[in-house]
A and B are shown apart, each in its own frame.
Chain A
């Protein structure tokens, strides 16, 4: 994989990173470095790459060996604003700095004696991230993705100063092997992998150790290990060594705060947000899991934080299990399987199905003796939810609905009898479905129809049930308009809409997204559905929506988004990478009607080819003219007001 990365990483940026880091260190004293700090920090996302250029451009001999960590510390103390590299870049950076982080301690262990290019590199990056250190811990809470990783990496050199003395032999060897040049290093990797590939027993033992260690250094160790190991499963063997150092590290105040933050995060971040590049947590989740998931072979690197499993192959076993299950209520199980198989798609449908299953489950629920209904039921629901996540990651709207349900359970008056409590919960769920989804849709239709004039050409993308209702209703009340349905592979949901509209006698045009820029010229309104809308007005919807919205914007066609208010989310979304869902990669690899699967077979084995089947993308607020919601027609800037004013009770969890 390093080989794969090689060509990606060559560009100039790395040279820049290299020069800024080496030059001052060679001739001038450390303070210079602090001055150049911001620049360094800004390029930090790319600078980790500098490990290989250093190899390219400078022979190990030329590189000054000694780096005083105290200097580093000084520079770290300098208050340099944290640059905010976009999360996706950071993700890449993580991936790449992996070696840096892991080699760091050894670098100092080797002391000043062997001038190794690797030392240079790790040092460099260490200081780079050192700049960010002070703030990144604070920031980390707000970054679901990368925040922690940064600080993790930073810590490594520091710890190494204090007590990196204890090192395993193999590790030293590793470092020495990689100490020459990057290319060699990668080779050494490959050599060592088979050697260190653990047996099952070993792995289990290491896991046990992990767990014990985690008690000491909660989130950190695991996080870091996850970091380093996620790229390649075969690197699991390296984890223990890595982690060994961590608990020994100076458990400073910041570390404690860190743990607290991590804990906090775990508490309040909905489970949909689990980072799948976090090995240990994935491990833990797996142990609990009902669904046997096989990880896909060729993972897409940028999206390692998302679950990448091969779907559909576990469906038969699961459906045969339906009579033997005990922990999961059958209704929930059924819904889970439907999600998995894709029988239920569409956010509203999924959400309603889930809520109805919960309703059924609550109806059949009986509080075990000596247990509290509130607590036990919440735990039960949690179990169901994690099962559903295993089947398919939750949508934002489902997350909101679950939050609502839990809130209802929490708010149950203590003096209610069990049957009463159950009845009230069920009615609350029913009310939620009626008010927030069914009625909301009706209101949205009423609002949106006022924006359809005679003779207009409306464009819609994919399939959204609200948009369908709007179009049908507008047709019913005698508006005269034409519909353009834009569709995209692999789901081709638009065909469903097309079929329904055509049978009702609407005038339709069907095209694929490739032609959107052509067709947009004649369009007067764009109607889009939504999976969620975030506080900054970013629309999170089926992949391709952003493209349609942007083209419409370029043609100055108003973009109208129809979204029920229960789908609004109080978080902020900046890109489509932090939070997304990956679909079945085979779906894009295999083209139906083209039956020679030989192609994809050969492609499957190709390490250099990954299939990325993104399910969602995010559309920035400036491309949206209007959001039609159950509270009326509002601009995208007003989402936070709705969230603040009308979902306050949900937020005060």
Chain B
């Protein structure tokens, strides 16, 4: 079993104070997130949900088999298409798959939207797609990769020569083709990144890892498979113990691991050769948004002249430009301190921080190994 969240996992059962989860939003109002808690940072472990057939094809099939709407249904009529086909449903279905990133799940869900769509013109289809992606985005506003994945997909799909096809059906199948291709690309991204980063891991090096990133794990795994000799320092990753989980995984691979307190980063930085972190989102300035604590690790590493490498798939590139830490929609999460906190004491519950580009050395993406300033170049070429 693999725990899904890119960064933070809450154990719901052991956390009675945690608010009701959004897990059952699939059947209910999908637009609200209960409480101010970020859905992205909630438990999404598959085993909490019962068995759900995640075969979207079947689902799409079912959707298609629904009695079709009026042939000349206008855009406004599409309000009821959600009854027969729910993106969020689809999305959550995909999210159950252990190795699928959130953005990829979104991409798959959107592809299913195209498949299930009864639109008869390109314009309708585009509007439908837009609506679906808006629904998805508003379902979890705090997830950067979800937003970025949706945006990218729309870009990727609609900016295609297929739109010039005269026949709508062939155009649609072209779109689907592209959508699937895009999904595949996104899936392959992790492998590519792992391959690219091998040149940077040398024998005898010590790597500091923060957070639980599947890309970083993949990188380390590949390095171990390539018989590289290296040591990993894992931060604990309070409050959800992501570092503990990661060290678990790594010790299974026979990689020497040392667990650190989050506050012991500066203490052990001098024995570190490089810092490896994942990212929730890569923003336009080339900085990253990642699990709380990344910024200070990057600062420490920078002041000690250690390289900071970020492993992130290109679908995490987002058109955001935070100027400072408070310049993002905060993603809140409950924090368990173990002791009772007096009511008057405020608790900083934000789950992520922004690391400015000047503290990052390189970004390993499926587009190649990039310096932070190239991110914006790629984004401009992608979006404009």
- Is A631 part of the contact surface with B, judged by Cβ < 8 Å? yes
Bound CA–CA A77/B173 (angstroms) = 67
Q: Check B71 for interface membership: any CB of A closer than 8 A.
A: no
Q: Contacts A631-B380, A638-B380 hold; do A525 and B323 have CB atoms under 8 A apart?
A: yes
The interface bits of chain B over 363-382 (1 if a CB of A lies within 8 angstroms of the residue's CB, else 0) are: 00000000001001100110
Cβ–Cβ < 8 Å partners of A641 in chain B? 376-377, 380-381
State whether A633 and B321 are in contact (beta carbons under 8 Å apart), knowing that A451-B327, A626-B285, A638-B373 are contacts in the complex: yes
Residue A625 interfacial (CB < 8 Å)? yes
Please, how many angstroms separate the alpha-carbon atoms of A610 and B380 in the complex? 47
A625 CB to closest chain B CB (Å) equals 6
Residue pair A633, B284 in contact (C-beta under 8 Å): yes
Q: How far is the CA of A566 from the CA of B284 in the complex (A)?
A: 21
B221 proximal to A (CB < 8 A):
no
Q: A632 contacts B327, CB within 8 Å?
A: no
Q: In the complex, what residues of B have CB within 8 A of residue A453's CB?
A: 326
Chain B CB within 10 Å, residue with most, of A451, A631, A641? A641
Q: A484 to B323, alpha carbons, bound, how many Å?
A: 19
**Residues of chain B within 8 A of A633, CB atoms compared:** 284, 321
A570: min CB distance to chain B, Å: 15
B174 interfacial contact with A, CB 8 Å: no
C-alpha gap A558/B326 in the complex (Å): 12
When distances are taken between beta carbons in the complex, the residues of chain A under 8 Å from B383 are 632
Q: Which residues of B contact A558 (CB under 8 A)?
A: 323-324
Q: Let me know if B380 and A645 touch, CB within 8 A.
A: yes
Residue in chain B with minimal CB distance to A559: B323
**B384 contacts the other chain (Cβ, under 8 Å)?**
yes
A-B contact count (CB 8 A): 49
Give the size of the chain B interface in residues (CB under 8 angstroms).
17
Using Cβ atoms and an 8 Å threshold, which residues of chain B touch A625? 285, 323
Contact of B373 among A560, A626, A632, A637 (CB under 8 A): A637
* Any A CB within 8 A of the CB of B286: yes
**Nearest B-chain residue to A560, judged by Cβ:** B323
B318 to nearest A CB, angstroms? 12
Shortest Cβ gap from B255 to chain A (Å): 36
- In Å, the complex CA distance between A87 and B185 comes to 49
A635–B284 CB distance below 8 A = yes
A638:B377 contact, CB within 8 angstroms: yes
One digit per residue, 1 when the CB lies within 8 angstroms of any chain A CB and 0 when it does not, for chain B 261-299 equals 000000000000000000000001110000000000000
Q: Digit string of A551-568 for contact with B (CB within 8 Å is 1, else 0)?
A: 000000010100000000
Are B285 and A635 touching (Cβ within 8 A)?
yes
Residue B115 at the A interface, CB < 8 A?
no
B319 an interface residue at 8 Å Cβ cutoff? yes
How far in angstroms is the closest Cβ of chain A from B326?
Answer: 8
Whether B357 is near chain A, meaning CB under 8 Å from some CB there, is yes
Give the residues in chain B near A645, CB-CB below 8 Å. 380-381, 384
Q: How large is the interface on A (under 10, 10 to 19, 20 to 34, 35 or more residues)?
A: 10 to 19
Is A642 part of the contact surface with B, judged by Cβ < 8 Å? yes
User: Nearest-CB distance from A88 to chain B (Å)?
Assistant: 27
Q: Is A626 a contact partner of B321 (Cβ separation < 8 A)?
A: yes
Closest chain-B Cβ to A167's Cβ sits at a distance in Å of: 57
**Chain A residues whose CB sits within 8 angstroms of the CB of B326 once the complex forms:** 453
A78 proximal to B (CB < 8 A): no
Question: Across the interface, which residues of A come within 8 angstroms of B377, CB to CB?
Answer: 637-638, 641
Which single residue of chain A is at the shortest CB-CB distance from B321? A633
- Among A631, A638, A645, which residue has the most Cβ atoms of chain B within 10 A? A638
In the complex, which residues of chain A have a beta carbon less than 8 angstroms from the beta carbon of B373?
635, 637-638
Q: A641-B376, A645-B380, A645-B384 are in contact. Are A635 and B286 (CB under 8 A)?
A: yes
- Is residue A42 contacting chain B, with contact meaning CB distance below 8 A? no
Q: Are the C-beta atoms of A631 and B323 separated by less than 8 Å?
A: no
Contact B376 A638 (CB under 8 A): yes
- Which residue of chain B has its CB nearest to the CB of A646? B384
Complex CA distance for A632 and B376, rounded to whole angstroms: 11
Beta-carbon nearest neighbor of B376 in chain A: A638
* Neighbouring A residues of B327 by C-beta, 8 Å: 451
Query: How far, in whole Å, are A646 and B377 apart by their CA atoms in the complex?
Result: 13
Q: How far is the CA of A350 from the CA of B159 in the complex (A)?
A: 38
Chain B residues in 8 Å Cβ range of A9: none
Taking CB atoms, residues of chain A closer than 8 Å to B384 are 631-632, 645-646
How far, in whole Å, are A328 and B366 apart by their CA atoms in the complex? 58
A635 to B322, CA, bound (A): 11
* A344 at interface by CB-CB < 8 Å: no
| Interface status of A634 (Cβ within 8 A of chain B) | yes
**Contact in complex: B380, A637 (CB < 8 Å):** no
Kindly report which residue of chain A lies nearest to residue B380, judged by CB atoms: A641
Interfacial residues of chain B within 337-376, with CB under 8 A of chain A in the complex: 357, 373, 376
Q: Cα distance A558–B324 when bound, in Å?
A: 8
Cβ 8 A contact of B376, one of A525, A635, A646: A635
Most chain B Cβ neighbours within 10 Å, of A525, A625, A633, A642 = A633
Contacts of A646 in B (CB 8 A): 384
Report B295-323 residues with CB < 8 Å from chain A CB. 319, 321, 323
Digitize A525-561: 1 where CB-to-B-CB distance is under 8 Å, 0 elsewhere: 1000000000000000000000000000000001010
On whether A632 and B319 interact (CB within 8 A), knowing A638-B377, A638-B380, A641-B376, the answer reads: yes
Residues of B within 8 A of A525 (CB): 323
B350 to chain A: closest CB distance in Å?
A: 16
Q: Give bound CA distance, A645 to B384, whole Å.
A: 9
Specify which of A525, A558, A633, A635 lies most central, judged by the most chain B CB atoms within 10 Å of its CB: A635
Q: Which residues of B contact A (CB under 8 A)?
A: 284-286, 319, 321, 323-324, 326-327, 357, 373, 376-377, 380-381, 383-384
Besides A634-B380, A641-B376, 12 new A-B residue pairs in contact (Cβ under 8 A), listed by A number: A451-B327, A558-B324, A625-B285, A631-B384, A632-B284, A632-B380, A632-B383, A633-B321, A634-B321, A635-B376, A641-B377, A641-B381
A-to-B contact residues, CB < 8 Å: 451, 453, 525, 558, 560, 625-626, 631-635, 637-638, 641-642, 645-646
19 A-B pairs whose Cβ atoms sit less than 8 Å apart in the complex: A451-B323, A558-B324, A625-B323, A626-B321, A632-B284, A632-B383, A633-B321, A634-B380, A635-B284, A635-B285, A635-B286, A637-B286, A637-B373, A637-B377, A638-B376, A638-B377, A641-B376, A645-B381, A646-B384
